Chains A and B, each alone.
Chain A
């Protein structure tokens, strides 16, 4: 069954402001790729557990020791906009 994608919705979820033309182009390519990827549905996987990670590990703990962190000034120097010791962003409230 050919895959159909609501590409505008996917782009909105991914926070990508794409034009109508771009959306159409990516949408067609994704449908091609997913048509190929759908082949994996043919493999019998009932009762097979998923693998999310190649190492058989659970939690990785380290000692709770005080260590030096990154220098605040050095980090803030890389910010596109700052105000004092804060990152500055456009308004957040009032969004719908």
Chain B
């Protein structure tokens, strides 16, 4: 019999409603999976077993009373630890927030609670979501369930590892330059970054406010759509929340791609992409053409400069956002003779090396005399890139590329070379700069048995087209393998 922890959200929902099992049983199976896998993975920073069981019991009581709050009722989910949870420690993976217990919930958390979801715990991340490997967490790295000597990607590596191994049925992460899609790719999952403004950022600990967006991790495309539908919508508490009507997400899932126009983003293929990743993606382009799509290559020259622009814009915004960590109102304080000395000591002690690096980089890029050459020029390149995307979307419905230039790399391999780590996001960050929706779908394994992800990008507010193509990619790939850690009898290390 299938272990309940391996069910999709859709099948678990059927089981819960037909009385096959209770949310308490489902939640216990997921907590058991966490108990046997956590010592191998470290996907969670906080496991809230008591809270999860209480939420499961409430969901079961609702089912018994005939109350149905939607497709997530009774479903055990995980949340990245940069979203605030009232009464539950929230650290953003940083020593500077260690022990902080927020007095309020993120809007996403409120929405999940209202939908009857069971929140299992808070997942590990690169400190303040800055990184591509989850090695920058102040509380130790997360490991990849497919090969525990390798990274799960980042920054939402804990959420990805948890869903891949079954210590959650689905999870939420945040994506500033690829922090959902790249770990989804490295862990063999579906990961979606929606259009900027689609999901409220209220309670999401800010990294780069014009780029940050919350989105789901799931084991299949339909589950990802279900998770996203549960959290989208305008929120008065987020000034950048999208005020228009929430776009359709899942109505075209079964439509197929016949007659669609699909563009291969030329700057993100070939050079710099690992040969096995490139081949797997090329095979998928052919399959999409065979399935009736009109597939051709399109060039977006500014996409070749996106990495440089991103690593000026994101650190600039981060340096401003992280000014709030000053040892006064919450978190760590290191004593000093004056307030200014206390602040500078607190920040040097509380932030890890990558966060310090980006604060310095952003401060420099914004400082007098350098602003025009760096930050100002990067903002103009952002305009060029947006214009090129807009022109491309007049010719095609979606753009496609690899999600990550490589499969999962070894733990420690890139930690001493910030630039090589930054290259992990080269394919994903153009969509963040443009504000467009984008997702990763697993399409196969490389020779080392590591997952390969395929990226689909769509114009802003066209989530339905993104999910339509993603669903077809999923059908064509027939990727149904799970990591050994999820399927074999595992004992805690």
Contact = CB atoms under 8 A, between A and B. Distances in A.
A29 B422 CA distance: 13
Interface stretch (B130-138, B304-312, B468-476): B304-312
B247 interface: no
Contacts of A39: 305, 308
B373 interface: yes
A79 B361 CA distance: 29
Contacts of A15: 323, 326, 340, 343-344, 347
A71 B101 CA distance: 13
A10 B386 CA distance: 31
B381 A10 contact: no
B364 A30 contact: yes
A89 B308 contact: no
A95 interface: yes
A95 B308 CA distance: 39
B383 A87 contact: no
Interface in B51-104: 100-101, 103-104
B435 interface: yes
A78 B419 CA distance: 37
Contacts of B330: 78-80
A43 interface: yes
Nearest to A32: B419
Given A13-B367, A41-B373, A41-B377, A95 B340 contact: yes
A2 interface: no
A85 interface: no
Most buried by B among A37, A41, A70: A37
Contacts of A66: none
Interface in B33-51: none
B357 interface: yes
Contact of B360 (A16, A41, A48): A16
B418 A79 contact: no
A84 interface: no
Given A26-B357, A37-B311, A60-B240, A43 B418 contact: no
Interface in A23-46: 26, 29-30, 32-34, 36-41, 43, 45
Nearest to A23: B360
Interface string A1-23: 00001010011011111100000
A73 to B, nearest CB: 9
Contacts of A32: 418-419
A26 B359 CA distance: 11
A51 B383 contact: yes
B376 interface: yes
A74 B343 CA distance: 23
Contacts of B298: none
Interface residues of B, number: 70
Contact of B386 (A51, A60, A71, A87): A51
Interface stretch (B114-122, B145-153, B331-339): B331-339
A10 B367 CA distance: 8
Contacts of A53: 210, 240
Contacts of B239: 60
A55 B196 contact: yes
Nearest to A65: B236
Contacts of B182: none
B379 A7 contact: no
Interface in B433-485: 433-435, 460
A72 to B, nearest CB: 10
From B197, B308, B333, B357, name the one whose CB has the most chain A CB atoms within 10 angstroms: B308
A54 B210 contact: yes
Given A90-B338, A95-B338, A10 B380 contact: no
Given A16-B356, A91-B339, A37 B374 contact: yes
Contacts of A45: 377, 380-381, 383-384
B205 to A, nearest CB: 14
Contacts of B359: 14, 16
B252 interface: no
Nearest to A17: B344
Interface string B320-362: 0001001111111101111111111101100100001101110
B361 A30 contact: yes
Given A41-B373, A94-B338, A80 B344 contact: no
Contacts of B335: 90
A33 B419 CA distance: 7
Contacts of B356: 16, 18, 26
A45 to B, nearest CB: 4
Contact of A80 (B302, B331, B419): B331
A50 B376 contact: yes
Given A40-B308, A52-B379, A55-B197, A14 B340 contact: no
Given A48-B383, A81-B333, 17 more contacts: A10-B367, A17-B344, A32-B418, A33-B418, A36-B419, A45-B377, A45-B383, A54-B433, A54-B435, A55-B196, A57-B240, A75-B103, A79-B329, A80-B327, A89-B342, A91-B337, A92-B338
Interface of B: 100-101, 103-104, 196-197, 210, 236, 239-243, 302, 305, 308-309, 311-312, 319, 323, 326-333, 335-345, 347-348, 351, 356-357, 359-361, 363-364, 367, 373-374, 376-384, 386, 418-419, 422, 433-435, 460
Q: Which 10 A-B pairs have the closest CB atoms?
A: A54-B435, A50-B379, A80-B333, A17-B344, A45-B380, A60-B239, A51-B382, A74-B103, A78-B330, A14-B363
